[in-house]
């Protein structure tokens, strides 16, 4: 969906790699957007890049020092001319032997090592797939939770300031372009106005020049967004602003009379396609606590539980949904995460709807999987024939689980269990829409639901803040 837009950004910024004779055979994706674990390597990459730039800076500084010394020596010498042979030889010697050396200094190629390193790092940087996935994630978050653009840019979620690095004109412009590409002109205009606001407030225009940031690109997008909204007067204003900077902008010269015409003869505007509507409905719902006769008690119905009773909360009677608190301790959680890290993989079928990576652990190859599989059987009392697998899931930006909008049922099984391996600070709730039930993730708790007909569908709402891990097991 965002492909065209990316092309536009690359062209607009003039950094087309191919144009510079550097054809990269980048892999499809490094999964930076769909897994918080994969993001860690991005931080390492950034450190390497910073170090490399610092080294480059040192090379240039050392070089500049030599040039300054040469200037100083020459200036000092020529500032105090004298008419005697002592001085005459000194000047002659200087010009004869020093100046050729100065040429060598000027001709020296600088930082070739750092330039090579920088080019190598390009191969490890996020791909267009990663970038599109992260934009898609922001789109999902903003749509599902109805987030205000300004709050998002300022790092405010639900009225709380999360003290994160604020967004700037770059992020706002890119989101404005993304929404424009989706023909969501209202949101597009919001983001572009924010970009303009940050542009006008920008303390360092030189920094923008380095990034080839053009005010005119922003004005052009604002014309498009307002035109898409049928606000022809505003569109004309931005078109004129643009022409005042670039009087010969031929595209805008042609747009102006078109906008005049449209203002006099407005056309019917098309409504944008709405995405994520089911998820929005499910996740923004506040579900009142319906059942008051549900209990929270210590259970000891198996020999194992008699040794270590657990607190169980029954959440729904009809579908038998329960949560066991304190099912898994911190140490086991850590061990489980450690064991699954090298196994985390993108799941082509699921990752689309899940924004996650999944690692399968089997009882036969991992002690921790055997231990947890055993605990699940002990506690639920469901013997699990054959299935020795435990699925560990690590989520990325806006990580969520959103089964097909039209999904009516899953594969029938005895029961499903889901163990929360982390807390989600905001978002990430498990919702059973048919039971009007929303469960907040709590590290170490296990959710169990009986599902013999495969009719119980659950969703996991997009994570707004936090690093989310869960383990999943289907009991057949």
Ligand X SMILES: *[C@@H]1O[C@H](CO)[C@@H](O)[C@H](O)[C@H]1NC(C)=O
Mapped onto helix, strand or coil, the DSSP state of residue 78 is helix
For residues 159 and 303, which CB has a smaller minimum distance to ligand X in the complex? 159
For residues 21 and 247, which CB has a smaller minimum distance to ligand X in the complex? 247
Please, what is the minimum distance in Å from the beta carbon of residue 392 to ligand X?
Answer: 10
**Angle, alpha carbons 120-214-141 (nearest 5°):** 75
Please, what is the minimum distance in Å from the beta carbon of residue 423 to ligand X?
Answer: 18
SS (H, E, C) 307-342: HCCEEEEEEECCCCEEEEECCCCHHHHHHHHHHHHH
CB 125 within 8 A of CB 117: no
Question: What would the two tokens of residue 206 be?
Answer: 């030189």
371 Cβ neighbours under 8 A, 6+ residues apart: 332
CA 12 to CA 19: how far, in whole Å?
Answer: 13
CB 456 within 8 A of CB 418: no
For residues 53 and 243, which CB has a smaller minimum distance to ligand X in the complex? 243
User: Given phi > 0 = left and psi -120 to 50 = alpha, else beta, which region is 101?
Assistant: alpha
For residues 88 and 374, which CB has a smaller minimum distance to ligand X in the complex? 374
Please, what is the minimum distance in Å from the beta carbon of residue 339 to ligand X?
Answer: 8
Please, what is the minimum distance in Å from the beta carbon of residue 91 to ligand X?
Answer: 49
Please, what is the minimum distance in Å from the beta carbon of residue 407 to ligand X?
Answer: 6
For residues 52 and 355, which CB has a smaller minimum distance to ligand X in the complex? 355
Count of residues in the chain: 476
Please, what is the minimum distance in Å from the beta carbon of residue 247 to ligand X?
Answer: 6
Please, what is the minimum distance in Å from the beta carbon of residue 474 to ligand X?
Answer: 6
Q: In the β-sheet with 415-420, what is the strand arrangement from edge to edge?
A: 296-299, 310-316, 321-325, 446-450, 415-420, 469-475, 389-395, 356-362, 345-346
For residues 424 and 471, which CB has a smaller minimum distance to ligand X in the complex? 471
For residues 28 and 58, which CB has a smaller minimum distance to ligand X in the complex? 28
For residues 9 and 415, which CB has a smaller minimum distance to ligand X in the complex? 415
Exposure b/e, 208-237, CB count within 10 A at least 16 = b: beeeebbbebbbbbbbbbbbbeebbebbbb
From the CB of residue 102, how many other CB atoms can be counted at a distance below 10 Å?
A: 15
Query: Residue holding tokens 């005119």?
Result: 216
CA 212 to CA 196: how far, in whole Å?
Answer: 16
Please, what is the minimum distance in Å from the beta carbon of residue 225 to ligand X?
Answer: 11
By C-alpha distance, which of 340, 353, 356, 345 is closest to 390?
A: 340
Please, what is the minimum distance in Å from the beta carbon of residue 400 to ligand X?
Answer: 11
Write down the H helix ranges in 367-451.
367-380
Please, what is the minimum distance in Å from the beta carbon of residue 246 to ligand X?
Answer: 7
For residues 247 and 303, which CB has a smaller minimum distance to ligand X in the complex? 247
Question: What would the two tokens of residue 86 be?
Answer: 């002592």
Please, what is the minimum distance in Å from the beta carbon of residue 342 to ligand X?
Answer: 11
For residues 20 and 331, which CB has a smaller minimum distance to ligand X in the complex? 331
Summarize as ranges the residues that interact with ligand X (CB under 6 A): 186, 190, 247-248, 331, 334-335, 338, 345, 349-350, 352-353, 360, 387, 389, 391, 403-404, 407
CA 179 to CA 106: how far, in whole Å?
Answer: 49
For residues 64 and 407, which CB has a smaller minimum distance to ligand X in the complex? 407
CA 185 to CA 227: how far, in whole Å?
Answer: 9
CA 375 to CA 310: how far, in whole Å?
Answer: 12
């Amino acid at each position: 969906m965002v492909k065209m837009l990316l092309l536009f950004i690359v062209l607009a910024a003039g950094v087309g790699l191919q144009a510079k004779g550097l054809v990269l055979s980048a892999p499809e994706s490094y999964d930076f957007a769909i897994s918080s674990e994969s993001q860690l390597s991005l931080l390492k990459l950034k450190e390497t890049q910073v170090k490399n730039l610092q080294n480059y800076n040192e090379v240039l500084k050392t070089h500049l020092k030599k040039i300054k010394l040469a200037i100083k020596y020459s200036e000092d010498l020529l500032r105090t001319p004298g008419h005697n042979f002592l001085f005459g030889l000194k000047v002659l010697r200087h010009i004869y032997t020093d100046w050729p050396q100065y040429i060598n200094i000027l001709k020296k190629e600088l930082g070739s090592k750092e330039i090579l390193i920088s080019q190598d790092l390009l191969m490890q940087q996020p791909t267009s797939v990663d970038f599109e996935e992260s934009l898609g994630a922001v789109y999902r978050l903003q749509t599902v939770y109805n987030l205000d653009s300004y709050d998002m840019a300022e790092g405010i979620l639900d009225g709380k300031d999360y003290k994160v690095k604020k967004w700037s004109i770059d992020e706002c412009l890119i989101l404005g372009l993304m929404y424009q590409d989706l023909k969501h002109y209202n949101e597009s205009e919001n983001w572009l106005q924010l970009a303009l606001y940050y542009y006008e407030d920008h303390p360092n225009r030189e920094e923008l020049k380095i990034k080839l940031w053009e005010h005119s690109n922003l004005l052009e997008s604002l014309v498009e967004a307002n035109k898409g909204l049928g606000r022809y007067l505003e569109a004309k204003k931005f078109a004129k602003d643009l022409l005042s900077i670039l009087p010969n902008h031929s595209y805008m010269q042609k747009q102006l009379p078109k906008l005049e015409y449209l203002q006099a003869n407005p056309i019917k505007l098309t409504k944008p396609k709405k995405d994520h509507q089911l998820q929005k409905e499910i996740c923004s719902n506040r579900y009142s606590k319906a059942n008051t006769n549900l209990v929270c008690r210590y259970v000891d119905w198996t020999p194992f539980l008699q040794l270590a009773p657990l607190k169980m909360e029954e959440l729904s009677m009809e579908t038998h949904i329960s949560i066991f608190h304190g099912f898994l301790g911190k140490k086991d959680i850590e061990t489980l995460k450690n064991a699954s890290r090298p196994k985390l993989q993108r799941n082509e079928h699921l990752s689309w709807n899940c924004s996650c990576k999944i690692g399968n652990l089997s009882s036969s190859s991992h002690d921790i999987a055997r231990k947890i599989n055993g605990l699940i059987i002990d506690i639920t009392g469901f013997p699990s024939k054959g299935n020795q697998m435990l699925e560990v899931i690590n989520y990325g930006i806006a990580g969520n689980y959103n089964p097909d909008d039209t999904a009516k049922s899953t594969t029938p099984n005895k029961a499903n269990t889901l163990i929360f391996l982390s807390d989600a600070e905001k978002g990430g709730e498990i919702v059973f829409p048919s039971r009007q039930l929303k469960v907040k993730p709590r590290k170490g708790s296990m959710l169990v639901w009986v599902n013999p007909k495969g009719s119980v569908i659950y969703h996991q709402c997009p994570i707004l803040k936090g690093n989310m891990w869960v383990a999943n097991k289907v009991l057949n």
